[in-house]
Amino acid sequence: MWVPDHLPRLDVAHAFALVQLPLHLNWSVPGRVLDLGSRADCARVYEVVLQEGRPADILAYVDGALLLDLWGELVLPRAVRSAWRQ
C-alpha cells in the first residue's frame, strides 16, 4: 500500500468530476460512473482507491481536503487507517 508524504490536492473540476474507475479498481461493476460531487459516491471511490489504488490512482482521484472531511465516514481496514494516519 502506497501513502503519499503529503495529502494530494485536486483542482475543483477533478475533485467533483464524474469518474469511471479503471478495471483494476472497479472490477465488480465495470463501466460504472461515479459522481465525486455526491458524498456517498466520493466516499466509495476513496475507500476503493485507498485500499486498492496504485500511486497514480491516489493522485488522480483523492483530494486531501475532501479525504479529511470524509475520514470518519469511510469504511477502511485498520491497516489502511493506520498507514494514512502516519
59-69 pLDDT, tens digit each: 999 999 999 99
Q: 40 in a domain, yes or no? A: yes
Q: Is residue 33 part of a domain?
A: yes
User: What's the predicted TM-score (pTM) here?
Assistant: 0.94
81 within some domain:
yes
In a domain, 25, yes or no: yes
> Whole domain around residue 38: which residue ranges?
12-85
Total domain count for the chain?
A: 1
Q: Is residue 70 in some structural domain?
A: yes
The DSSP line for the chain is: ----SS-----HHHHT-EE---TTT--SSTT--EETTSHHHHHHHHHHHHHH--HHHHHHH--HHHHHHHGGG----HHHHHHHH-
Residue 2 within a domain: no
* pLDDT at site 63: 98
